[in-house]
Amino acid sequence: MINQGKFSVLGVNIHAVDYDHVVSSVVEAAAAGRPCAVSALAVHGVMTGFQDPVHARRLNGFDLVVPDGQPVRWALSWIHGQRLPDRVYGPNLTLFAAQALAERGLGVYLYGSTAAVLERFAASLQARFPTLIISGKEPSRFRRLDPAERAAVVERIKASGARAVFVGLGCPRQEVWAFEYRDLLRMPILAVGAAFDFHAGTLAQAPRWAQDHGLEWLYRLIQEPRRLWRRYLLLNPLYLWNIARQKLGGRPFVAVLPDGSEPVESFG
């Protein structure tokens, strides 16, 4: 089990950990009824914090922000000398967490995406882990929720008996959601995004060689060019430029701390 601490990557605190540490933290929090917000960030996720100080404060208020993308893992190594044997890839983390929750008899609530994807995602999880308790599932409304709707979501999740939540709203909406609901739900919340579609079979994963060489973004760009071209063709070079600046000392990129003073926009 690896836990080497947290380190600023463009002002976002990334935890140098492995799957075992994250899963152990999630299961312990679920069993104890303790909040634990987890996000698996690739380059796009880091850049949302880099470009928005308010969102950086949200991310730095998470219990664990893990290196989902290889370029984020490489940044930990290049800038901070933190060499990890592997990234903590959201879709894999989802399966490891589901297995551990199933073994402990702890239920999970699935929140986000569409009703059709949720059905297929839930069926996929149950096929892999027959003892997994899926306490409930709720699709996104693809808009901001008002205070009454947010309170109703909290009550539904609590009443379901779930001890953890998997959230798939896309980045950065799922991180906003996890930040806001962390203390309201007081249970682990895993923001795992595309894991819903990957395990539902509605979106193909990149080949292993592309994943290992940090080229998953290219595979996804080919799949969804109109939706993703700005994300990858503009943000990726900007990420690399600023990683080089941080390494060479051109800018310190000190991580901002959460102070709770900024307003939060809830999505559902």
- pLDDT above 80 (res 265): no
Parent domain of 175: 3-248
Asked if residue 255 is part of any domain, the answer here is no
- pLDDT above 60 (res 171): yes
Asked if residue 215 is part of any domain, the answer here is yes
Average pLDDT score over the chain = 91
Q: What percent of the chain has pLDDT over 90?
A: 76
Asked if residue 183 is part of any domain, the answer here is yes
Asked if residue 263 is part of any domain, the answer here is no
Q: Which of 44-48, 203-207, 209-213 has the highest mean pLDDT?
A: 44-48
Q: What mean pLDDT comes out for the span 87-110?
A: 98
Count of domains forming the chain: 1
- pLDDT above 90 (res 93): yes
Asked if residue 234 is part of any domain, the answer here is yes
- pLDDT above 60 (res 142): yes
Asked if residue 258 is part of any domain, the answer here is no
Q: What is the DSSP string of the chain?
A: --EEEEEEETTEEEEEE-HHHHHHHHHHHHHHT--EEEEEE-HHHHHHHHH-HHHHHHHTTSSEEEE-SHHHHHHHHHHH----SS---HHHHHHHHHHHHHHHT--EEEEES-HHHHHHHHHHHHHH-TT--EEEEE---SSBPPHHHHHHHHHHHHHTT-SEEEEES-TTHHHHHHHHHHHHH-SEEEE-TTHHHHHHTSSPPPPHHHHHTT-HHHHHHHHSHHHHHHHHHHHHHHHHHHHHHHHHTS---PPPPP-S-S----B-
Asked if residue 253 is part of any domain, the answer here is no
Asked if residue 265 is part of any domain, the answer here is no
pLDDT in tens, 160-170: 999 999 999 99
Residues 134 and 107 sit within 8 Å (Cβ to Cβ) = yes
